[in-house]
Chains A and B, each alone.
Chain A
């Protein structure tokens, strides 16, 4: 009994902390598109959108280049429509040769946990292979699969599913900041 209540307290405490933390992050995300800079170190002063983003930063890749490509259901080949974006990523990576990236592979909810981990790995690897084919050296690109564990939306419809079937290029090191 004592054990139980202690655990529950733990749970509540952690949950509370997490909720707090997450609320913060969500605010940050929602305010991202507008002019205010959202990089962890607050921008020095209000400034026009583009100039607030440091070239070669994680933010630069995400906002100015684009970090996400989408996949068809149960597929992992890079879509023609996404090749331009990945080409920009490759060019950007060549401009900033110190940057290392990690490709996250994700799946929608329509697959078992294990299968989706494997599918996410296929997708991440497909993105990596495309970047490498565009001249990025293999050693700069890692992959990680999150399967269906990190959705960006939770409704059960194609609109949401297609958002979740994605490969996201994340700067993992060597970026300007």
Chain B
């Protein structure tokens, strides 16, 4: 400090010397706002260009981190994406980012989509990419553009080119029909994977988004099944004597952790999908269920009521080192490890209130991030930044899927065809 004061003294004396006239400033407070970004309709093929830009705008807006500006206010009309935009005109409408794109039909019938992301204040191109695809895949291309823009601006991977597998719920409250369904992350292209003649629950993607593990009542005993999305084939997982439920894949996709009930007691097991070998991981008389692997595959979070109430525990992947990590109020269950590894999402229950929370993987730093009162079953976006979960409505009013930023901001409903629950987020598809 002394030294510095001397420098300061020098500063006063030699104020004209640039080397010494340095002010130090520490900005520690900001104004968290979505980034204003201009995304004019892509040029070229007018129809596809408007469609793609529309999906990109919707994707980025949904993230809560961007604020796509209304096209009506645009002063410059982009006609050639290879020319440098007039940055001043975009600054004048407060745009900080600008996405220009072009869609052209190739002689072979494919679409070619070029786009550039511009730093309006820095007056430079931040990104330029080109895609080729068949015309019917325009939505995927749009999601990939969104992912690229999101990643370039935020520094983390996007999650728009992903799918959600979920349980579609139809019919009256006392006779709900629950079907396995899948849709794009933005709710487009919903497809039913089962026909509703039997109930299905708790679907989970494998790491390649090609396989879904889920619980089905298709036979007398409810069990965990695997659904191969490519072939549409379903198979029961393993030859267990009783109910199996709550499956979840290991990060390498080679194992499934699940719960087996025997004589009324539920314990966590893990099955190797190649050898079909089964290993029992827990063996106490409490309810042990809802296993979730850490991203490195070395640990498993699960819930147990062995201590008298439902709480989150950790163990090594071989079942050793079981220890409780939640000690706070209420019950805590359904731990789900963030793909980033830094957090566990979970469901907190206090009385009849259910809330989604996140905490560090040692159980500290708990934050509740949802406000529905009947929120449960979190699932992470592949970038570990956003979560989806089920929100129950009162009086048998069905269920909805909601999403929220890991910070607790930007809670919003995910549009589904009808009632929906048990979302599971796929990894990035591309």
Contact = CB atoms under 8 A, between A and B. Distances in A.
Contact between chain A and chain B defined by CB under 8 Å: yes
Interface of A: 3-4, 7-8, 10-11, 14-15, 18-19, 22, 25-26, 76, 102, 109-115, 117-119, 121-126, 129, 142-145, 149, 151-156, 172
Nearest to A16: B170
A154 B399 CA distance: 13
B30 interface: no
A7 B192 contact: yes
Contact of A114 (B173, B190, B192, B334): B334
Contacts of B266: 117-118, 121
A22 B265 contact: no
Q: Which 3 A-B pairs have the closest CB atoms?
A: A125-B264, A154-B396, A118-B266
Given A145-B261, A172-B220, 19 more contacts: A3-B191, A7-B190, A7-B191, A109-B392, A111-B331, A112-B310, A115-B287, A117-B261, A118-B245, A118-B266, A118-B287, A124-B264, A125-B263, A129-B264, A142-B220, A144-B220, A145-B243, A149-B176, A153-B174
B163 interface: no
A113 B246 CA distance: 9
A156 B394 contact: yes
Contacts of B334: 112-114
Nearest to A76: B264
Given A109-B352, A149-B176, A155 B395 contact: yes
B175 A22 contact: yes
B347 interface: yes
Q: How large is the interface on B (under 10, 10 to 19, 20 to 34, 35 or more residues)?
A: 35 or more
Contact of A115 (B195, B199, B215, B333): B333
B376 A112 contact: yes
Contact of B352 (A102, A110, A113, A114): A110
B173 A151 contact: yes
Nearest to B352: A110
B418 A119 contact: no
Contacts, number: 140
A156 B352 CA distance: 8
A110 B351 contact: yes
14 contacts: A4-B188, A7-B190, A18-B171, A18-B175, A18-B196, A112-B333, A112-B349, A112-B377, A114-B259, A115-B287, A117-B222, A117-B289, A118-B261, A142-B221
A155 B392 CA distance: 12
Contacts of B201: 113, 117, 149
B186 to A, nearest CB: 12
A125 B191 CA distance: 37
A153 to B, nearest CB: 7
B199 A149 contact: yes
Contacts of A111: 310, 331, 349
Contact of B246 (A76, A114, A151): A114
B411 interface: no
Interface in B137-179: 168, 170-178
Given A3-B189, A15-B171, A121-B266, A113 B202 contact: yes
A54 to B, nearest CB: 24
A15 B171 CA distance: 6
Contacts of A142: 220-221
A45 B374 CA distance: 49
A3 B175 CA distance: 28
B422 interface: yes
B172 A114 contact: no
A149 B178 contact: yes
> Which of A19, A25, A145 has the most B CB atoms < 10 Å from its CB?
A145
Contacts of B349: 110-112
